[in-house]
Chain A
Amino acid sequence: MTMLPKPRPGAKKLGLVVDLDTCVGCHACAVNCKEWNTGGQAGILPDYDKYGANPDGVWFNRIHSYETEGEGCSRTVNVPRSCMHCEDALCVTVCPTGASYKRAEDGIVLIDTDICIGCKLCSWACPYGARELDEVEGVMRKCTLCVDRIYDEKLPPAEREPACVATCPSRARHFGDLADPQSKVSRLVAERGGVDLLAELGFRPTNKYLPPRRATIPAEPPKARTSGGFGAALLGLLDRALSR
């Protein structure tokens, strides 16, 4: 059913919090996502022209790098982009078949690929470009928030998190319940001023992004060189030569 679920009191809002301050743009999250979702018995993320000149394929997570300027500094910002599991998920309501749905209990947006007709309308409705067509099966694919990991009781509790979060070497990705103000992710968002991407479009994404912090390490002012005779002059010369 592609009507959005009515908000339930106490329902979870599972999602990701991505720290743009510490993301180093290494693509490990995208690679581990691809590996997890394409491995096993039912690999679902096809690749086309794998070893050819134009390799292409379906990925749930794409990492962009940008140069930014403002607030008195310029910097590189790496932005992982995947499904935001929006509260006003237009991709769900436009679906003509009921294949695209949002779960009432935890807000995860999923696709029932057994009934998807591959009309692509949901991909047009998503402002984040988070849905990609599987051109082999003719159905749409998207991030599942690793629904097959986070509820898997055979996994040790510490591993019950999305593959992208588990693998992030700079701990820039966090997973949790954003409906609970006391959860680790909610506190992070509150402390760091987490934001919605494309907030003005009004899709109310669940995933939040922590903006890059301003560089606050003050540079020490250069010390005035004191004349200290031959020894100091020699040391000064050495210092200049070595710090070139």
Chain B
Amino acid sequence: MRPDASILLLTTSTGFGYGLLAWLGVEAALGVMPAGRMRTLVAAGLAVSLVLVSIGLAASAFHLGRKERAWRAFSQWRSSWLSREGVASVLTYPVAIAFGIIAWRHGEGVWTRVLGVAALGASLGTVYCTAMIYASLKPIRQWHNAHTAPDYLLYALFSGALLLAVIHTVVLGAPGALASAAAAAAAALALVAKRAYWRHIDSQKPLATLAAAIGLPKGNEARPLDAPHFTENFILREMGFVIARRHTAKLRPLVIAIGFASPLVLSVLAGLAVAPMTTTMLALVCAALGLLTERWLFFAEATHVSALYYGRPI
């Protein structure tokens, strides 16, 4: 599948934003924010989170053929995960803002905890809807599997934890035990999950053979003779994207090293109070680059069964 810049930006940027909102909700629900600095933490965290989410959602409109009709996408939440994502993302704003207002005015308290849980649920719910857009597409075996939805949630929590550590460091001078531990643990889990995902898609069989795609019984073999057209068309540009094996072989280790291993080590260092400002910021930059590459690969490595008709690998 063709990696579209606006969709890469959408899924990574909202991942950071919703991940951060989820962790702010966790902290509020557990009542672990330092009482004196809670207002600053929540205000700064929400501002960063909502800006990132808004950038991502705005980016998503850029891949639409008719941007002015984007509002129509909120109507089909009964069947469409894309519509559900739209509805969930819009509903998350008032929840996040109510959470901010209550935390600002009342500090610790029952309502802050309740709204913290609500913010956690709304943000992860939106990420889940995004993931399900891909996971529900049966013609794409690299997306339609049990890895996609948990992985998206995990990467959101991972990127959010790194952002939380940066905000803690800026506001409080140190990331604190919870944020560092969360970031390191999420990085480790994300690394394991990505490797498991790659193992899974590498061991999958193609969804169909060309002979089955043209209705021939078993025991027949088919190979393309004449294509319907001699230039690329929409189907081939969009669905027939083929990534060279040597590029995959180069990019996968890069994603592991920059996207997950470096933030893991840097988060541990930050937790041990080794130059926390530098280490947390560096971890964030590494993760952003790594996750953008990871998302590019998520598209580039995905194959669509319709490319089979053109004899392309699926």
Contacts and interface: CB of A to CB of B under 8 A. Distances in A.
Interface string B240-283: 00000000000000000000000000000000000000000000
Interface stretch (B12-20, B148-156, B174-182, B225-233): B225-233
Contacts of A99: 72
Contact of B231 (A56, A124, A135): A56
A127 B215 contact: no
A196 B215 contact: yes
Contacts of B216: 68, 70, 77, 211-212
Interface string A62-100: 111111111100001101010000000010111111110
A110 interface: no
Nearest to A114: B69
A54 B136 CA distance: 34
Nearest to B214: A79
A58 B238 CA distance: 14
Given A64-B227, A123-B238, A90 B137 contact: yes
Which of B63, B82, B208, B214 counts the most chain A CB atoms within 10 A?
B214
B213 A198 contact: yes
Interface residues on B, range: 35 or more
Given A71-B220, A94-B82, A211-B217, A117 B232 contact: no
Given A62-B228, A64-B227, A132-B233, A96 B64 contact: no
Contacts of A152: none
B80 A94 contact: yes
B228 A66 contact: no
Interface string A135-155: 101111000000000000000
A71 B228 contact: no
Given A64-B226, A64-B228, A129-B306, A119 B75 contact: no
Given A67-B222, A124-B1, A198-B208, 8 more contacts: A68-B216, A69-B222, A90-B138, A96-B80, A117-B70, A127-B306, A133-B238, A138-B66
Interface of A: 1-4, 20, 25, 27, 30, 54-59, 62-71, 76-77, 79, 81, 90, 92-99, 115-121, 123-129, 132-135, 137-140, 195-203, 209, 211-212
